[in-house]
Chains A and B, each alone.
Chain A
Amino acid sequence: MSAQPTRAQRIPATAMRLPRIDPLGALVSVVGAVALLWLPFAVFKPNRVLPGDSHALAQVLPPSATLGCLLVLMLVALTALGVGNAWLRLAAALLGLIAVSAAIAAAGNLLTPPGNKVVRVAPGSGFWVLLLAIGLMATDAITRLRPRPIVRVLMLALFAAIACLALAHGVFDNLSVMREYAVNADRFAHELRRHLALALGSLGAAVVVALPLGIVCHQVPRLRAGILGALNVVQTIPAIALYGILMAPLGALAAAVPLAARLGISGIGAAPALLALFLYSLLPVVANTVAGLARVSPAAVEAARGMGMTRRQTLTGVELVLALPTILTGIRIVLVQNIGLVTIAALIGGGGLGVFVFQGIGQTAIDLVLLGAIPTVALGFTAAVLLDALVETMHRSREP
């Protein structure tokens, strides 16, 4: 506001009357308003598979709570439209997220008859669109703040802590997804562990193989085109097709070598899933290792050799250290990619959160699909934020 008088002096009177509108804020506000007015906020279903009745926000909450929620959302929209301070925008977005989450939790509690475990209250499309719009506003605010990597990680940790606390306290227990969770709690923990094991295990194996492969590609240019070309071909095979392709040889291996079968290798299950994810992981890590080594200053390498470092000392002490941020970027790509791809492993009995997704599709129980999908998205997001922060920290420590 304090900047207004000076701006008024330079801008014609007609323009002055229009307040400056933030373009992203306008988008968020319009989308949010449409979601509130025309999309169902919550869906009430007699049981988990039957289609349900749509309810608007005002239909599920008592008038006072509806009014409070709408006031908060109005404040969020006004902030999005007219406030430039990124901290205020972030605070408003978080307030909005809390209000919308509280409203959906309350909707679950209010619509569910006491003691009834059969009816389902699911978040409606209006809730999801609102969540998306406010989430967009929050990420935009964080981008504008340019927080240091450590601050971003702390923000994520805080957010995760709040979410976990709310879940642990049963705030959302009357919502459909949490109903599915309550039924599948044991399996959920198991499949989550399996999901992480597949994603991280394949990544670990890929790094062990891809790093030396990348170094060889860098040092022997003649091999580079061949190796990268072959890995590129692997990358173009659709995941489902690759699982199919691997079934026959792994099945044959298990049949021919009893030890392999005893180790759990077979045509279906975790083995082909792990192998396929491993193959997909190779290209990004190899390519980024090659790129990272290529952009190491030739003068630094020349100086290292000229001062009497052995080839190994030059590689480990100079080249790999300087290439590390680029290599980590490759690892970040792989990790986020794998967390998503593991979902498909459920199709061939590989386990993971995809189990819920495919069971849910089979039973037309969308809540079960969400039980698999939401944690997958959260895991991928977390991995991306953590590794981005790590990569940026490394860049900051050695470049202006």
Chain B
Amino acid sequence: MISIENLSKQYDSAIVVDSVSMAVERNSITVIVGTSGSGKSTLLRMINRLVEPTGGRVLIDGKDTTNEPAHLLRRRIGYAIQGNGLFPHRTVAENIATVPRLLGWDQARQRSRVAELLTVFQLDPAEFAGKFPHQLSGGQQQRVGVARALAAEPELLLMDEPFGALDPIIRAKAQDDLLDIQRRFGTTIVLVTHDMDEAFRLGSRVAVMSRGRLLQYDRPAALLTQPADPFVSQLTGLADRAMRLLSLTTAGQAAVPGTSTGPAIAASASLRDALSELVWRGADSASVIDASGAPSGKLTVAAILALGRPR
């Protein structure tokens, strides 16, 4: 859907992004991860042309993004940033309706979209629509920021460290919400973060950047099992790579037919959590149960351990 072709950005003598090429899959979350100064934000900002590339091009559905004025392009692409960037002088409803208003939607359509999004983000429209951003908690502000980015039903949503300002517990909740939202609307999301845990948790594909170069662009498991560069291993972490790998598979995916007298584990739990539970209980195997509580198979410690290393 989005093809990034040899995209580069150079300021005077400094090359910030160095000939990056990658294809972003439709209806999935792609995470760009890297240390500060790796060029990840610049890469993201070249997709909606907040930064104009000095080389290469970006194609959305085969069309070069430079074919239309930058501000019109940006109205079709959602954009959410760290610290949410809400307009302090506008109400929650006005903030969310920013792009619909720029696109000239009629009032009724704006209002119903705002109410719909507030409900999706678990904010009661009657209570929150008329509030000002400073009257909200950090987590609420962040949700309004994402709701605003989604207001005009963009097919593509760009997010630059959207959860960077949140404390760990609210951040985990915000990440779960984002996964729900993505499934619900099928939005294509490109998200930039420096947090490897976040990248593994959210990304169906992860791009690792360092010093302006794209080192590896792959499924999370592949970053662990087949790192393309020592820096990738360094970034993903060598000490707990087995646990990281286990966290990418759910109990339901790994379960085999059979029954167990061991503890019950939800099919949606990761193998990492399943292993932890088995170690804690001193059991050799667990019974995997589906969302309705019915047993759907079993999982042994040996089977889990086998999945925690490259095959």
Contact = CB atoms under 8 A, between A and B. Distances in A.
A303 B79 contact: yes
Interface in A318-350: 318, 321-322
B86 A306 contact: no
A363 B88 CA distance: 58
B88 A308 contact: no
A316 to B, nearest CB: 12
Interface stretch (A43-51, A142-150, A236-244, A294-302): A294-302
Contacts of A302: 50, 81, 85
Interface in A299-313: 299-310, 313
Contact of B99 (A301, A307, A310, A399): A307
A400 B134 contact: yes
Contacts of A306: 48, 50, 74, 79, 81, 85, 158
A307 B88 contact: no
Nearest to B133: A398
B79 A299 contact: no
A295 to B, nearest CB: 11
A300 B85 contact: yes
Contacts of A297: 83, 85, 88
Contacts of A310: 71
A11 B81 CA distance: 57
A322 B87 CA distance: 9
Given A308-B74, A308-B75, A310-B71, A303 B85 contact: yes
Contacts of B99: 307-308
B134 A303 contact: no
Contacts of B72: 308
A306 B48 CA distance: 7
B102 interface: yes
Given A300-B88, A318-B87, A307 B134 contact: no
B82 A299 contact: yes
B145 to A, nearest CB: 8
A304 to B, nearest CB: 7
B89 A308 contact: no
Nearest to B102: A308
Contact of B71 (A299, A309, A398): A309
A358 to B, nearest CB: 47
Contacts of B74: 305-308
**A: interface residue count bin:** 20 to 34
A302 B86 CA distance: 10
Contact of A308 (B71, B84, B132, B145): B71
Interface in A262-308: 297, 299-308
Among A300, A318, A397, A399, which residue has the most Cβ atoms of chain B within 10 A? A300
B80 to A, nearest CB: 8
Contacts of A309: 71, 98, 102
Interface residues of B, number: 28
Given A306-B50, A400-B134, A322 B79 contact: no
Contacts of A308: 71-76, 99, 102
Contacts of A397: 89, 132
B143 interface: no
Give the interface centre of B83, B99, B145, B149 by most chain A CB atoms within 10 Å.
Answer: B83
B50 A307 contact: no
Contacts of B88: 297, 300, 322, 398-399
A236 B88 CA distance: 37
Interface in B148-168: 148-149, 158
Contact of B83 (A299, A318, A322, A399): A299
Nearest to B89: A398
A305 B50 contact: yes
Given A318-B87, A322-B88, A307 B132 contact: no
Contacts of B81: 299, 302-303, 306
Contacts of A304: 85, 87, 98
Given A300-B87, A322-B89, A307 B98 contact: yes
A297 B86 CA distance: 9
Interface in B77-111: 79, 81-89, 98-99, 102
Contacts of B82: 299
Contacts of B86: 300, 303
A94 B135 CA distance: 39
A309 B79 CA distance: 12
B110 to A, nearest CB: 14
A205 B158 CA distance: 44
A281 B88 CA distance: 30
Interface string B183-199: 00000000000000000
A48 to B, nearest CB: 56
Interface string A58-99: 000000000000000000000000000000000000000000
Contacts of A400: 134-135
Interface in B16-43: none
A143 B86 CA distance: 34
Contacts of B145: 303
14 contacts: A297-B83, A297-B85, A299-B82, A299-B85, A300-B85, A300-B86, A303-B81, A303-B85, A306-B158, A308-B74, A308-B75, A318-B87, A397-B89, A399-B88
Interface of B: 48, 50, 71-76, 79, 81-89, 98-99, 102, 132, 134-135, 145, 148-149, 158
Interface of A: 297, 299-310, 313, 318, 321-322, 397-400
- Return the 10 tightest CB-CB contacts between A and B, nearest first: A303-B85, A308-B75, A306-B79, A299-B85, A308-B74, A299-B83, A308-B71, A398-B89, A398-B88, A400-B134
Given A302-B50, A308-B99, 16 more contacts: A299-B81, A300-B87, A301-B85, A302-B85, A303-B85, A303-B148, A304-B85, A304-B98, A306-B81, A307-B74, A307-B79, A307-B149, A313-B102, A398-B88, A398-B89, A398-B132
